[in-house]
């Protein structure tokens, strides 16, 4: 039913598009990576260890300010519950609402990053003038379904309430490879988070805490995670970043060190070293191309 509503909404929106003179833009992001495992296996994939897809992007901006966006994946992630070739496809009035296939707003958008069919409202609180994002997504039986929202700017509080959250390949890449997603029927009914991010010149630092409860199966045990990330952009030089994620139940520490080195215009070399407590070491040699 929800997908039908999204289709109808998109149809109405695109009907409005052709009644005006739209501005159309086409661009692409490529994130290919060679991934090396401790067993000596080497794998080439069209996404990186942070589950950032290679994709073709289409944007259509109307005279009234409405925007339609479609991001089409180039390559998919094995075992991803989202087996669609489309990453996102939505119609939005920027700063007000968004409807279609969207990413739900949670934390800094790096640890819990779930997409789905639904709608998002963008507003501000009457007290404190703080931004508030509230979304509802429904991906069908055994997949993410419920309400996800975040309040705040530099400091934020987030909640995901419903069913099967955290199963996407794009979520929790700090503690598992993208191909090791939990899969349909797993996940959590409640995730609460708090995050803060500050920038000091070229340095950006963030901390994010997540509290996971109401597991869908006995394997989905109560958990708490704490993520630290720091990145420094050298003037006219490379971007260097480091990240550590601690899981409280297993007292495990997972970390990643990476860099982004300019090769030629709009092309970057992206090496990374990652350690998962449960999966061991991973070395990534990738590119980031923006067209």
Set out the domains of the chain in order of their start, with CATH numbers: 2-290 (2.40.160.10)
For residue 25, the model assigns a pLDDT of 95
For residue 14, the model assigns a pLDDT of 55
For residue 40, the model assigns a pLDDT of 84
Q: What is the DSSP string of the chain?
A: -HHHHHHHHHHHHHHHHTTS--EEEEEEEE--EEEE-TTS-EEEESB-TT-PBPEEEEEEE-TTS-EEEEEEESS--TT-S---SEEEEEEEETTTEEEEEEEPP-TTSSSS--EEEEEEEEEE-TTTT-EEEEEEEE--TTS-EEEEEEEESSEEEEEEEEEEET-STTS-TTTS-GGG---TT-SEEEEEEEEEEEEETTEEEEEEEEEEEEESSTTS--EEEEEEEEEEE-TTS-EEEEEEEEETTTTEEEEEEEEEEEEETTEEEEEEEEEETTTEEEEEEEEEEE-
For residue 22, the model assigns a pLDDT of 86
Whole-model pTM above 0.85?
yes
Q: In this predicted model, what pLDDT tens digit does every residue of 164-174 receive, in sequence order?
A: 999 999 999 99
For residue 11, the model assigns a pLDDT of 47
For residue 1, the model assigns a pLDDT of 45
From first to last of its 291 residues, what are the pLDDT tens digits of the chain? Answer: 445 445 445 544 555 555 667 899 999 999 999 999 888 889 999 999 999 999 999 999 998 899 999 999 999 999 999 999 999 999 999 989 999 999 999 999 999 999 999 999 998 765 667 899 999 999 999 999 999 999 998 999 999 999 999 999 999 999 999 999 999 999 999 999 999 999 999 999 999 999 999 999 999 999 999 999 999 999 989 999 999 999 999 999 999 999 999 999 899 999 999 999 999 999 999 999 999
């Amino acid at each position: 039913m929800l997908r039908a509503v999204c289709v109808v909404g998109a149809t109405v929106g695109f009907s409005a598009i052709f009644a005006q003179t739209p501005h159309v833009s086409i661009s692409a992001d490529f994130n290919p990576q060679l991934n090396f495992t401790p067993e000596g296996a080497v794998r080439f994939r069209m996404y990186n260890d942070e589950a950032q897809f290679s994709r073709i992007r289409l944007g259509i901006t109307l005279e009234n300010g409405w925007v339609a966006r479609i991001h089409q994946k180039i390559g998919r992630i094995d075992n991803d519950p989202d087996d669609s070739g489309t990453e996102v496809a939505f119609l939005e009035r920027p700063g007000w609402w968004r409807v279609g296939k969207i990413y739900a707003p949670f934390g800094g958008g790096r640890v819990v990053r779930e997409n789905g069919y639904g709608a998002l409202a963008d507003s501000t609180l009457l007290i404190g003038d703080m931004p508030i994002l509230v979304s509802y997504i429904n991906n069908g039986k055994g997949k993410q379904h419920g309400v996800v929202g975040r309040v705040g700017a530099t400091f934020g509080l987030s909640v995901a309430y419903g069913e099967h959250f955290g199963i996407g390949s794009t979520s929790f890449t700090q503690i598992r490879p993208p191909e090791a997603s939990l899969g349909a029927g797993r996940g959590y009914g409640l995730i609460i988070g708090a995050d803060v991010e500050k920038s000091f010149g070229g340095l950006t630092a963030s901390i994010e805490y997540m509290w996971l409860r109401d597991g869908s199966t006995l394997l989905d045990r109560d958990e708490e995670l704490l993520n630290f990330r720091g990145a420094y952009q050298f003037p006219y030089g490379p971007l260097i970043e480091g990240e550590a994620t601690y899981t409280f139940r297993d007292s495990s520490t997972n970390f990643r060190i990476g860099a982004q080195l300019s090769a030629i215009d709009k092309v970057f070399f992206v090496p990374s070293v990652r350690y998962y407590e449960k999966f061991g070491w991973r070395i990534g040699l990738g590119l980031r191309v923006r067209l």
